[in-house]
Amino acid sequence: MAPSTSSRLFAGLLVVLWSGRLYSANGCFSSIISFGDSIADTGNAKYLASIYDDVRFLCVPPYGQNFIGQSTGRCSNGRLIIDFLAEILGLPLIPPYFSIKGSGSVAALRQGVNYAVAGSTAMNSSFVEARCNGCVVLNGSLEVQLAWFKQSLPFICGNATSSDCRNFIGRSLILMGEIGGNDYNLPLTTGRPIDEVQSYVPLVVDTIVSAINELIDMGAQTLVVPGNFPIGCFPSYLTIGVSDKEGYDPITGCLTKLNEFSEYHNKMLRIKLNKIQELNPNVVVIYADYYNAAMQIYHSPDKYGFTNGTFKACCGCGGPFNYKATERCGDVSMILCDEPDKYVSWDGVHLTEAAYKLISKSLFQGQYTMPEFRSICPRTSTSEGIGKSSI
């Protein structure tokens, strides 16, 4: 559901307090600094594919097919939420850290850097590996991504504790994910019971909170912290299914218990974010409600133009939901839909560019952030921002 009246009143107060202080040449922020997993990764996994075979599929079409002539390493057919956010703010698309690491291009670094990596977890990889029946987890946790960020600061602004660096970080919009989904997905999809995995939630949330606090100590002034998606609506989980009909929401058809799990994570995260805000009144901590921004699609898919596939993946390898855990979009046996813009899911785990576009507009030009992002950055309420793919 959309945020309450009190949340909007709070946002109005914040814009009064912040209106003279957050603007840069583009109207709001000088750059975006991003952390997270495949929901935000704009190509880091592609550069790590020689090390981690599990992300090699991102390097080939049809991934990134909307970027003509290349595969960008994005887990979709086109742009992600972070891409739309950059366009709304009038910033260039944010490059992956590994594409500019060691390049010495300070100008590029100053416009934003993305440290998110597909397959990453909030917790250390060893924690998740011990709980997913021997799976191999990419070593790109939040702790690792923060280390990459600190390593790159000397190329951007000098010493991490210098006033120049604090100012750079303070003028940047920090996007914290989405992160934490893989901490749950990997154990759940390898057989761990949901009640056990739910016990990990406080640990995952505390890890996210610890990273936020560290960034605030470094000078962060504005952070967007997403919640988790309604995973019970994803083809990957619907393929696994449940044995009783009561497990499905009668209105949406999503798996009720898994969506309740996502809501529990989001509730715990919001409680912690409210505490951070209380302790740091001069910092703006924005909760991005990815869950409900996505659920509006599942409640009314036809209304938003998703007429061909609410639960069926556009790109997959057959079955009722065009998804098989043992095969991937990009394999020779792949079945690719003709009209991706009419599908919600791209590959059973990630969404299409069309779905991300709608979610982005709902978040950054609508009501699904608390406080509302458009009150913190008024540019977003008037900017057209969201155009065609280019890179």
pLDDT, tens digit (0-9, with 9 covering 90-100), for 254-274? 999 999 999 999 999 999 999
Q: Tell me the pLDDT tens digit for each residue of 23-39.
A: 343 468 999 999 999 99
List the catalytic residue out of 41, 183, 347, 362: 347
In a domain, residue 359? The reply is no
**Domains identified in the chain, total number:** 1
Expressed as residue numbers, the domain containing 184 is: 5-228+241-286
pLDDT score at 265: 98
For residue 5, pLDDT beyond 80: no
Is 351 within a domain?
Answer: no
C-beta atoms surrounding 390 within 10 Å: 10
CATH number of the domain to which 267 belongs: 3.40.50
- pLDDT exceeds 90 at position 161: no
Q: Which is catalytic among the residues 83, 120, 350, 362?
A: 350
Q: Model confidence over 73-94: pLDDT tens digits? A: 899 999 999 999 999 999 999 9
Choose, from 30, 31, 34, 38, the residue flagged as catalytic.
38
Q: Does residue 333 belong to any structural domain of this protein?
A: no
Do the domain assignments include residue 314?
no
The pLDDT, as a whole number, for residue 263 is 98
Q: What is the pLDDT of residue 167?
A: 95
Instruction: Confirm whether 299 is a catalytic residue.
Output: no
Q: Kindly state whether residue 206 falls inside one of the protein's structural domains.
A: yes
Q: Is residue 357 part of a domain?
A: no
Rg (alpha carbons) of the chain, rounded to whole number: 20
350 among known catalytic residues: yes
Inside any domain, residue 99: yes
For the whole model, what pTM was predicted? 0.90
Residue 347 known to be catalytic: yes
Would 315 be classed as within a structural domain? no
Q: Which has more pLDDT, 350 or 19?
A: 350
